Amino acid sequence: MKFTLESPTALTIRSVSEREIRIGDRRWTETVALTTQGVLEGWEYKPLESLTGDDFALLLEAAPEVIVLGTGPAHVIPSRELMFTFARLGVGFEVMDTRAAARTFNVLAGEGRQVAAVLYL
């Protein structure tokens, strides 16, 4: 699936397939974390069910208004504790399949919002 919305001031997710995520002109074949400013190289892969708030520390340094979690080809609900972590911090946390998460990231970034994402293949 290709996406066409592009913002001149924000990083754009160009496409998502079963094998890769294309961000700008670069292709990613593993889980990737990003903000509107760039891809975060320090993201360490963990299974979705093992994620905790501490795993998002690098993303939170960018002070996002909302974090979008793309859970792969299907929507997977994370632990309640993870959801509560972001509620306590006052940071929006949206969970959806990765294609929907990529579209959401692009729309929010295009609106000039401070958004971050973690996208699983």
Q: So where are the chain's domains?
A: 13-120
Got the DSSP string for the chain?
Answer: -B-----TTS--EEEE-SS-EEETTEEESS-EEEESS-EETT-----GGG--GGGGHHHHTT--SEEEEEESSS-----HHHHHHHHHHT-EEEEE-HHHHHHHHHHHHHTT--EEEEEE-
- What's the pLDDT at 95? 98
- What's the pLDDT at 1? 47
* pTM of this structure: 0.90
- What's the pLDDT at 16? 97
In this structure, CATH architecture of domain 13-120: 3-Layer(aba) Sandwich (3.40)
pLDDT in tens, 43-76: 889 999 999 999 999 999 999 999 999 999 999 9
